[in-house]
Amino acid sequence: PIGTEYYEQDCKQAFSALEAFDGGLQVGGGITADNAGKFLEKGASHVIVTSFVFKNGQVNLDNLRRMTTAVGKNKLVIDLSCRMRDGKYYIVTDRWQKFTDVELNEKTMDMFSRYCDEFLIHAVDVEGKASGIEEKLAEMMGEYCEIPATYAGGISSFGDLEKLKELGMQVDKGWYAQIPKKKEGEFVNINEEMQSLKDEVLRLNEENKALNELLVAAEVKAAQAEKYRKIVMILMEESA
C-alpha cells in the first residue's frame, strides 16, 4: 500500500527501470492523480490506472477526469481487465479479485476512450494458463476499440497469434496482441513475421553447417600434420 516501506522500495525499483529505458516503459500499480507525474518525470511513456477510477464497483468520473487532467490523455492507459459473469465481461480490480458493476462493451469502451491513449485488457479467466485465447473478448476488442488496446491472456501457440491477427490485432513476438490506431497504425502481417523467424533459423543453421565444415577440415589438416610429423621423425632416425 502507498506509504509503506514496501511501496517505497517498489518505487525505487520502478524509477531505476524507467531511467534505464527512458520513454520505453509504462508503469502501473497504485497510480493516482497525485503521484502519476513523478513516474512520467522518471521516464515512463504512460501510466496505467485501474483502482483509482473504480470505487465501490462504479466508475469514479471525478477521479478519471482528475487523472486525465494531471497527466494528459496521451499519457494515460486505462486497465480494463475483465472476467466473465453471467455471459458478460465485467471489469475487475484489486488483483482481479473484485468484480465491478461495469460491463465491458462497446458503450464503455467508447466512453473510456475519451479519457486515455490506450487500453490494457487482460482476459483474466485464461490469464497465465497458456490454454488458448478468450476469443469472444478479442473479437469484441477488434470490433469496438477505436484506440490502441493491448490484449493479454491465454496465448499459447502460433495458432492463437494467427487468430488474433484475423481479429484485427497487431501481433508481437512477446506473445501479446495490440490493436493499433485505426487511422494511423499499420497492421503487422504475421505471415511475414513467421517467415522472418524461419529465415533467421535457416541462416543460423547455414552458419552452423559452415562452422562444422571448418571444424572437420581443421581436424583433417591436424591428422595430416601429425602423419607428416611421424614420417619426418622416422626419416631423421634412419639418417642418424
pLDDT (0 to 100) of residue 185:
44
**How many other CB atoms are there within 10 angstroms of residue 57's CB atom?**
13
Position 230 pLDDT exceeds 60: yes
pLDDT, average across residues 16-32: 92
Read off the pLDDT band of 188 (50, 70, 90).
Answer: very low
pLDDT, average across residues 73-93: 96
Average pLDDT across the chain, whole number: 86
Position 178 pLDDT exceeds 70: no
pLDDT (0 to 100) of residue 175:
45
Read off the pLDDT band of 187 (50, 70, 90).
Answer: very low
Percent of the chain with pLDDT over 70: 88
pLDDT (0 to 100) of residue 179:
56
Position 100 pLDDT exceeds 70: yes
Reduce the secondary structure of the chain to three states and give it as a string.
Answer: CCCCHHHHHHHHHHHHHHHHCCCCCEEECCCCCCCHHHHHHCCCCEEEECHHHEECCEECHHHHHHHHHHHCHHHEEEECCEEEECCEEEEEECCCCEEEEEECCHHHHHHHHCCCCEEEEEECCCCCCCCCCCHHHHHHHHHHCCCCEEEECCCCCHHHHHHHHHCCCEECCCCCEEECCCCCCCCCCHHHHHHHHHHHHHHHHHHHHHHHHHHHHHHHHHHHHHHHHHHHHHHHHHHC
> Which tens digit of pLDDT belongs to each residue from 28-70?
988 999 999 999 999 999 999 999 999 889 999 999 999 999 9
Please state whether the predicted TM-score (pTM) of the whole model is above 0.85: no
Q: List the one residue out of 197, 206, 140 whose CA is nearest residue 167.
A: 140
